[in-house]
A and B are shown apart, each in its own frame.
Chain A
């Protein structure tokens, strides 16, 4: 018991003392996950909206696959990206494996289906309300995409936060394609795995606390955004 208490105290000291190792790891984690969410959103928001607006053969199958991919195991995503980026792989010449770039790619693959699938749901629901009015005004289908994305902005913020939660909490994908190289590709989750196995509990615990705080912050933000939207927009 006293061991854990000690570890906890040391962890707090590391956080409050802004330990450079800890800061570096947290900074890289944020950089990788935020980049992944931004890139995924740029693709997934219009994609999800388009999927909500267009009817085509096989649309149902696409939606089912997209929904299923929301639960894609991170290690499988990591493995797929590993195979793509490894020396012998189709994208091997870029030398991306074991760089933060590779980690961003893997997390984009994890986050993109979440944002696209949830965007599709929200936009489709909103479009149900808007369809007749927009048709009456002669708004083209392509023009409806930015219109609906903007009007669903509060719900979509929550969606992107969910994507960020997934990216920052996963360990399997970044471990495989990043390699957990100290100072280069070591992020919070992979560091926790390593430090725990090494028995360096204070650093592992410190990172765990930061990660937990981050997730709590993301959820608080999501809640706040939802509440504000309800109050302001009715």
Chain B
């Protein structure tokens, strides 16, 4: 992958969420919050189900417009990609899913197959290139989604519970991929409800509870000495629902 340049840390514009909230039919799903993400940190968003993790990801990525506040990039909007809990793959072969992504980002036709095969190789899918993407196993589908994201050369990568439905081997593959993205200089924003996973991957932690941002601290401090009662309860495993 020598054609993929490493980006200097400072090159990715910071993402600012200012007073961002989301309401649906007079029900507040996310209370106004401020959050600033910069550098190429790996930020893990944690919290029980229904805390607003996925919503926060969609607002940050721009899939949803907030009903309150403002989401803005301080500078040009960077290249972004998102990996979903349930990968959405086209009803085509594994290879065609990747060449499609390359066509969308403007890669010349003659280079698409070569680059797509490189990505399949990198994510251990080379033998499956002709298989319809929808009949791959859950872990293979998620690796294909990661390969597709890889080809987008994102400066910021969003992952929404990418391992929630996977077995341990597949989880390991996803985590390795996240580290690869990070090594390439990609900023990561990822949700998980797996404390161990957060331990392994996070530079900093955002804790959501009941649609509110209750804590945002560096991972080391969060795990050693959480600043809020919710944080303390969460790492003791008491704040499950």
Could you list which residues of chain A lie within 8 angstroms of chain B, going by C-beta atoms?
129-130, 132-133, 135-139, 143, 147, 150-151, 232-234
Docked CA distance A151–B92 (Å)? 7
Docked CA distance A150–B97 (Å)? 12
Q: A130-B90, A136-B80, A143-B104 are in contact. List 5 more A-B contacts (CB 8 A).
A: A132-B82, A132-B88, A136-B63, A147-B90, A234-B132
Closest approach, in angstroms, between the C-beta of A201 and any C-beta of chain B? 49
Which residues of chain B come closer than 8 Å to A129, judged between CB atoms?
A: 88
Whether the pair B91, A133 counts as a contact (CB closer than 8 A) is no
Whether the pair B81, A136 counts as a contact (CB closer than 8 A) is yes
Is B134 at the interface (CB under 8 A from chain A)?
yes
Number of chain B interface residues as a range: 20 to 34
Which residues of chain B come closer than 8 Å to A143, judged between CB atoms?
A: 104
Closest approach, in angstroms, between the C-beta of A87 and any C-beta of chain B? 50
Residue of A nearest to B58 (CB): A132
Whether the pair B135, A133 counts as a contact (CB closer than 8 A) is no
Docked CA distance A133–B83 (Å)? 8
Q: B63, B91, B158: which contacts A151 (Cβ < 8 A)?
A: B91
Is B84 at the interface (CB under 8 A from chain A)?
yes
Docked CA distance A50–B92 (Å)? 22
CB 8 Å contact bits of B39-81 with A (1 = contact, 0 = none):
0000000000000000000100101000000000000000011
Whether the pair A133, B92 counts as a contact (CB closer than 8 A) is no
Whether the pair B63, A132 counts as a contact (CB closer than 8 A) is yes
Which residues of chain B come closer than 8 Å to A147, judged between CB atoms?
A: 90, 100
Knowing A136-B61, A143-B104 touch, does A234 contact B84 (C-beta < 8 A)?
no
Is B29 at the interface (CB under 8 A from chain A)?
no
The 8 closest A-B pairs by CB, nearest first: A133-B88, A234-B134, A136-B82, A234-B135, A151-B91, A233-B91, A233-B132, A233-B134
Docked CA distance A232–B80 (Å)? 32
Taking each of B101, B104, B135, which has the highest tally of chain A beta carbons within 10 Å of its own beta carbon?
A: B104
Whether the pair A137, B152 counts as a contact (CB closer than 8 A) is yes
Whether the pair A232, B135 counts as a contact (CB closer than 8 A) is yes
CB 8 Å contact bits of B155-185 with A (1 = contact, 0 = none):
0001000000000000000000000000000
Which residues of chain A come closer than 8 Å to B82, judged between CB atoms?
A: 132-133, 136
CB 8 Å contact bits of B139-159 with A (1 = contact, 0 = none):
000000000000010000010
Whether the pair B135, A130 counts as a contact (CB closer than 8 A) is no
